[in-house]
């Protein structure tokens, strides 16, 4: 059929028939198994109803998750360039990935930078905003909506393109505000220049770790303290690419903020009031009472935030895909996976990256769960 509307209708009807048939079939199979085990007719009917209603999710999971994962695991041990057939190569993809691929090593270091620098900043800002909102300020709902708005907008292309315009070194609103405030308030200008020096030095060090060459670090340190007219080169310099991504990460901390806010509201008032009676200052109450009691929320945000940061992709893709001269300094592991799989059509190598990424996430998450007993407070004892 050449008519796109008829194609759409046909696919829709076919999908509906498939869902109904698979649901009835899975429910019937479950009922048959229950009958073989000697279940009563009433229990057989309940088993049929339960599996029939659960079947759309089960079938969807098998088709769209389990089967692609098994295929991806097989492809990771092959050389596969669609539409050619995969050729078995054993562990060659993994050996190349770990020992030879400089792009993957650079992506791994970039992701490490975002995890150890960006994620803690995101947690601190989210906690700070939650503490402010927990004070029952006038217009609290407006502030809460404003801080959560980036999450509603999402990291879609439109929002990230706005950031791309705002972070333009010459005409972007961020640097324009920095220039104006620096001229009107000289101490801010000094603080901005110090910030530029610290960030460029840190990023030059990480670039040196990536490349095994610290020439960029020598250039930054030899140049000394930035001049009065310097502004951050957010998108134009490899020394600023990761910092701009960190800035967007902090901007989108609304979900973490709400989780912290819920945890703060659940802190028993009698405990903080008892600490006040004992003479504790506001900082001491926060440090020794509130902070330990919200560690479950902190742990949740840490685990989820770590996984999200390791899987970061949209920011790099939208901001730097058209600037190859600085893009490598912003590559994330998932962006490298996308390049290998879709830009270079190397499905086998991309599958190997995805499974190694899964292993990294599992190991990091297991370590976090093993260490939680040393600092997470789940009760009031």
Banded model confidence at residue 124, pLDDT cuts 50, 70, 90:
very high
Question: What is the model's pLDDT at position 145?
Answer: 84
Domain check: are 325 and 271 in the same one?
Answer: yes
User: To the nearest whole percent, how much of the chain has pLDDT over 70?
Assistant: 98
Q: pLDDT band for position 135 (50/70/90)? A: confident
Task: Give the pLDDT confidence score for residue 6 in this predicted structure.
Answer: 86
Assigned domain for 61 exists: yes
**Verdict on whether the full-model pTM lies above 0.85:** yes
Section 282-306 average pLDDT: 94
Residue 228 has pLDDT above 90, yes or no: no
Residues 103, 59 share a domain: no
Residues 131 and 263 occupy one common structural domain: yes
CB 306 within 8 A of CB 364: yes
Q: Quick one: pLDDT band at residue 164, thresholds 50, 70, 90?
A: confident
Higher pLDDT, 156 or 233: 233
Indicate if 18 and 130 belong to the same structural domain.
no
Most confident of 232-241, 281-290, 350-359: 350-359
Would residue 199 count as lying in a domain?
no
Instruction: Judge whether 341 lies within some domain.
Output: yes
Residue 281 and residue 146 share a domain: yes
Residue 300, pLDDT > 90, answer yes
The closest alpha carbon to 302, from 119, 113, 116, belongs to 119
Domains held by the chain: number: 2
Say if 224 falls within a structural domain: no
Question: What's the rounded mean pLDDT across residues 269-298?
Answer: 91
Do 36 and 131 share a structural domain? no
Q: Are residues 257 and 322 in the same domain?
A: yes
Task: Tell me the HSE value of 133 on the side-chain side, using a 13 A CA sphere.
Answer: 25
Mean pLDDT (whole number) for 244-253: 91
Structural domain includes residue 256: yes
pLDDT of amino acid 1: 53
Are 261 and 127 within one domain? yes
What is the predicted pLDDT for the residue at 162? 85
Are 149 and 9 contained in the same domain? no
Query: Average pLDDT for residues 25-50, to the nearest whole number?
Result: 93
pLDDT band at 257 (very low <50, low <70, confident <90, very high): very high
Q: Give the residue numbers spanning the domain of 69.
A: 4-75
Calpha distance 341→106 (Å, rounded): 17
86 with 349: CB under 8 angstroms? no
- 268 and 313 co-located in one domain: yes
Classified as helix, coil or strand, 197 is helix
When pLDDT is averaged across residues 178-202 and rounded to a whole number, the result is: 93
Q: Which residue has the tokens 């390791």?
A: 310
Average pLDDT value for residue range 232-242 = 89
Rounded to whole angstroms, the Cα distance separating 248 from 317 reads 13
* Residue 230, pLDDT above cutoff 60: yes
Q: What pLDDT is stored for residue 136 in this prediction?
A: 74
CA–CA separation, 157 and 234 (whole Å): 18
The mean pLDDT value for 103-109 works out to 90
Confirm whether 200 is domain-assigned: no
Helix runs in 134-240, H state only: 140-153, 157-166, 173-184, 186-211, 215-223
* Predicted confidence band of residue 286 (pLDDT cuts 50, 70, 90): very high
pLDDT at 208: 87
* Residue 298: burial class (beta carbons within 10 Å; 0-12, 13-18, 19+): buried
Residues 138 and 57 in one domain: no
319 in the same domain as 260: yes
Per-residue pLDDT band at 351 (split at 50, 70, 90): very high
Q: What is the DSSP letter of 85?
A: P
**How high is the mean pLDDT of the chain?**
90
- For residue 304, the domain's CATH number is 1.10.3720.10
Residue 158 has pLDDT above 70, yes or no: no
Instruction: Check whether 381 has a pLDDT greater than 70.
Output: no
Whether 157 has a pLDDT exceeding 70, the answer reads no
**83 Cβ neighbours under 8 A, 6+ residues apart:** none
């Amino acid at each position: 059929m050449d008519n796109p509307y008829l194609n759409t209708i046909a696919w829709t009807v076919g999908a509906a028939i498939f869902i109904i048939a698979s649901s009835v079939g899975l429910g019937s199979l479950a009922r048959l198994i229950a009958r073989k085990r000697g279940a009563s007719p009433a229990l057989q009917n309940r088993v049929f109803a339960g599996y029939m209603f659960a079947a759309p999710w089960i079938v969807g999971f098998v088709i769209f998750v389990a089967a692609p994962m098994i295929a991806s695991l097989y492809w990771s041990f092959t050389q596969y360039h669609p539409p050619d057939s995969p050729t078995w190569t054993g562990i060659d993809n993994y050996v190349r990935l770990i020992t030879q691929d400089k792009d993957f090593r650079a992506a791994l270091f970039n992701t490490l930078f975002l995890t150890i620098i960006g994620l803690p900043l995101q947690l601190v800002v989210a906690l700070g905003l939650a503490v402010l909102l927990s004070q029952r300020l006038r217009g609290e709902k407006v502030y809460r909506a404003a801080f959560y708005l980036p999450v509603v907008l999402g990291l879609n292309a439109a929002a990230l393109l706005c950031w791309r315009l705002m972070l333009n070194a010459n005409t972007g609103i961020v640097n324009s505000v920095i220039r104006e405030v620096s001229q009107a308030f000289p101490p801010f200008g000094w603080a901005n220049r110090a910030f530029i020096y610290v960030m460029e030095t840190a990023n030059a060090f990480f670039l040196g770790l990536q490349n095994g060459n610290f020439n960029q670090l020598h250039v930054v340190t030899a140049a000394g303290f930035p001049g009065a007219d310097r502004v951050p080169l957010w998108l134009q310099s490899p020394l600023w690419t990761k910092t701009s991504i960190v800035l967007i990460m902090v901007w989108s901390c609304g979900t973490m903020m709400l989780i912290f806010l819920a945890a703060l509201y659940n802190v028993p008032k009698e405990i903080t009031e008892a600490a006040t009676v004992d003479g504790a200052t506001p900082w001491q109450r926060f440090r020794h009472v509130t902070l330990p009691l919200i560690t479950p929320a902190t742990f949740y945000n840490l685990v989820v935030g770590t996984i999200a940061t390791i899987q970061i992709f949209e920011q790099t893709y939208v901001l730097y895909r058209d600037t190859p001269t600085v893009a490598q300094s912003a590559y994330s592991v998932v962006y490298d996976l996308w390049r290998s799989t879709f830009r270079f059509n190397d499905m086998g190598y991309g599958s190997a990256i995805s499974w190694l990424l899964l292993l990294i996430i599992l190991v990091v998450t297991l370590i976090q769960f093993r260490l939680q007993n040393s600092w997470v407070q789940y009760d009031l004892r």
